[in-house]
Amino acid sequence: MQKCRRAALWLMVCIGFWAATAGTGANTAYAAGEVELYTPYTQLSAPPGESLSYSIEVINRTNTTQKAELAVRTSATGWEYQLTAGGRSIRELAVKPNDSQTINLQLDVPLNVDKGDYRFDIAAGNLASLQLVVNVSEKGTYNSELTSDQPNMQGFSDSSFNYSAQLRNRTAEQQTYSLQADAGAGWDVRFKSGGNNVTSVTVEPNASQTVTIEATPPVNIEAGTYKIPVRASNQSTSAELELEAVVSGTYGISLSTANEVLSADITAGGERKLDLLVKNTGTIVLEDVSLNSQSPTGWEVTFEPKTIRSIEPGKTTQVQATLKADKRSLAGDYVVSMTASSAQKSSNASLRMSVKSSVLWGWIGILIILAVAAGLYGLFRKYGRR
């Protein structure tokens, strides 16, 4: 009787084990870690509008091929993601025994998002899962930005101030911005994009574009600091930037004769001295101003002094120019160009020199005529009575 009870108990255990295994059908149970999703960077930080890229390895440590559907699960809203392999979107993956496959995940951080941590579960069916954490470093904005790495420029009044600005569209739509500048009277402000003058630019969502701003000050502007407000706007969004131009002064120089008459007479082979005035018409000291000339062949032009060490703003320095005409110069008008120049500025003056025949040759001609007349008179007296 006892043997019968033991046999019945053993039979019930076998039946129970059979029922338990039969309920699983053909499915195989795997130990933890036999299929794994792996990436080295499970927690990354990014600002709003950026994209994160993960390379995830699907590892199969079993002796059979494993096939699983891929999914991304999260409670975060507004995020966009894409799973790819071989450059194409993927939803299901098969991995050979004791092998691995790599998939890529791209997560796009929304523009309008709060600062904080966001969790994402990457699942390969029921075989394995991987949790990723994205730390959004700042609260997102849904607007436009206009910035410049160097909004302050310094230069002279006769130069242009060139700024490089970045216009960023932090919205989810393409935006066309009208470009405007509110500089002071007389300023000429131009916008350039791609090397062309423009009055507006179009920027794609979450993209940026470089805009060059060229500001030319008015003539005779005083030294000082000038603000140039710049605005990029449309009906839905706008951005502003304040530029600064520091005008340090102006360089100016003029060259003329003392009586401002640019013509004179000279005899062939003779000399003529002229007084020249070199004036600093700017607001900055002129240094090492040199005098030079271009004259007809055979002429000589010298200056005293040849170089002026410095001229204060608004002051004038006198220079004496000595012109010597070639003795073979024919009667007529000749042009002598003179230049006063510093490292920054120069001024030219063209003198018209009228060459007259030498007085000596005139007297020689008169004497020859008188000598011929006297000779003729003597001949008439001597032979006229015969």
138-193 pLDDT, tens digit each: 887 778 999 999 999 998 887 899 999 999 998 878 999 999 999 989 999 999 99
Please report which helix (H) or strand (E) contains residue 46, including its range. strand 43-46
Cite the beta strand spans of 137-280 per DSSP E.
144-148, 152-155, 161-169, 175-181, 188-193, 196-198, 200-203, 207-216, 224-233, 238-247, 253-257, 263-267, 271-280
What six digits make up the tokens of 206? 């979450």
Is 80 exceeded by the pLDDT of residue 4? Answer: no
Residue 294 pLDDT > 70, yes or no? yes
pLDDT of 319-338, one tens digit each? Answer: 999 999 988 888 888 999 99
Q: What letter represents residue 205's amino acid?
A: P
Q: What is the DSSP letter of 86?
A: T
What is the mean predicted confidence (pLDDT) over 261-288? 90
Q: Residue 252: count other Cβ atoms within 10 Å of its Cβ.
A: 20
Rounded Cα distance between 42 and 45, Å, is: 10
3-state class (DSSP) for residue 139: coil
135 in Cβ contact with 45 (< 8 Å): yes
pLDDT digits (tens, 9 = 90+) for 257-273: 988 888 888 888 889 99
User: How many of the other CB atoms lie within 10 Å of CB of 230?
Assistant: 25
For residue 123, pLDDT beyond 90: yes
pLDDT per position as a tens digit, 88-109: 999 999 999 999 999 999 999 9
pLDDT, mean of residues 75-81: 91
CB atoms within 10 A of CB 245: 25
**369 CB contacts (<8 Å, ≥6 apart)?**
none
Q: How far apart are CA 300 and CA 281, in angstroms?
A: 29
Please name the helix (run of DSSP H) or strand (run of DSSP E) that holds residue 104, with its range, or none.
strand 99-108
Give per-residue pLDDT as tens, 159-168.
Answer: 899 999 999 9
Contacts of 151 (CB under 8 A, 6+ apart): 163, 241, 242, 243, 244
Burial of 48 (0-12, 13-18, 19+ CB in 10 A): buried
How many C-alpha atoms does 154 have within 13 Å on its Cβ side? 4
What is the mean predicted confidence (pLDDT) over 372-377?
74
Give the model's pLDDT for residue 241: 97
- Does 211 have pLDDT greater than 90? yes
pLDDT reported for residue 360: 54
Q: What is the pLDDT of residue 20?
A: 42
Q: How many Å apart are CA 171 and CA 50, to the nearest integer?
A: 13
Residue that the structure tokens 């003539």 belong to: 219
pTM: 0.52
Under the banding of pLDDT at 50, 70 and 90, the label for residue 255 is: very high
Cα(165)–Cα(215) distance, rounded to whole angstroms?
Answer: 13
pLDDT given for residue 24 in this prediction:
37
Q: Characterize 19-33 residue by residue with b for buried, 16 or more Cβ atoms within 10 angstroms of its Cβ, and e for exposed.
A: eeeeeeeeeeebeee
